[in-house]
Structure 1
């Protein structure tokens, strides 16, 4: 079987297409025309997606899955209206945030886990077996510590991430996460 020479050139052509290109433009003829002009055209590039960016997207997604699950439990099982309200708010806000996380991860080619972390799954299982005041206290304690961790991880992403898009998403998430933490602490002290 005979190999076509133009097929062997494809890898080299691909390298050329992705590299910066310098184009020399000849001037129009006539009075006042300057000499040839060179322009370098760089390919469209996305900010790099570092291991830090990928890890934060995965962790944020898993935290969202956990908060949605536990928030649904609190919305149904909470002994007080404050805990039920907190649960519903977590479901609404983390569902919206997770939509942003998953869309960005898809655009950047980052695969996300399909389930929460084993520790978050164990906490949800524990909460499923509780009721009344014990449920409320454990839910609030779990959510306060979870939000502290997510806020710390998000602050790390803002300061150490590479992708401007992932950093922007993290920056936009911080005020909402802080609002959740304040509401959870307030509910914790009022009960």
Structure 2
């Protein structure tokens, strides 16, 4: 994937983490002109249960998260200066490849359009982290990713506890395990500033929707696939009638 260098980056002043962070705020729905303010509004009845706007948001959001964290994981494996940072990069690649497989599996079944590119703000995070080197890279990598995963953790729990759609519920189960794992490996790097992380998670600024929304795919554009690593330990959700790790041909159910 290529990332635009024109996206607005974030700043680190005097070694302190200063982020403009709502990276995993709900993106606007792709393929729909209007979005209701009531996120629990049912937009479709499916054989797996009713699908709400927040259910659809969640599937799009998990996909978008992988589109910036997966390549950033590869960057961390290459540029990290410690074993712990490189290990954290490996976990990003492994976990998001499996989540992405699940998203691509269930999206056509629920008639959800998935993005092929992360949001402008997420792209800016990749550019900011990748532009640093050495211990500054390690710190930027660990802190930004710890904050974004901490921010999404409560959202995953909300979806898991409220959705009536079994496919979305299965994705939430997988996402919960993956996000907790990624929080843990970031903390194990020893670079996380917990005071800054808590502040950024609880007081995110309001940004324009255009900064937070991944663009829809272009007509005829092939879908980006996040390939699992050769030593993958994470597995996609297995749907009824299939074995874990397989990807059926997309069908609208």
Relative to the length of structure 2, the TM-score reads 0.55
Correspondence list, 1:66-77, <5 A: 66-77=68-79
Whether the 8 Å CA contact 1:53–1:162 is kept in 2: the answer is no
Q: Identify unmatched segments of 5+ residues in structure 1.
A: 1-43
Correspondence list, 1:1-191, <5 A: 45-189=47-191
Output the CA distance in 2 between the equivalents of 1:97 and 1:140.
Answer: 21
Output the CA distance in 2 between the equivalents of 1:180 and 1:158.
Answer: 18
Relative to the length of structure 1, the TM-score reads 0.72
Structure 2 residue matching 1:108: 3-state secondary structure: coil
Whether the 8 Å CA contact 2:139–2:191 is kept in 1: the answer is no
Q: Which structure has the higher relative contact order (CA within 8 Å, separation 6+)?
A: 2
Indicate the RMSD between aligned Cα atoms, in angstroms.
1.9
Q: After superposition, give the CA deviation of every residue in 1:110-167 in whole Å (9 maximum; x if it has no partner).
A: 0011111211100101112100000000000011011112212211211232312101
Output the CA distance in 2 between the equivalents of 1:109 and 1:45.
Answer: 12
Q: Shift in Å at residue 168 of structure 1? A: 2.1
Deviating above 4 A after TM superposition, structure 1's stretches of 4 or more consecutive aligned residues are none
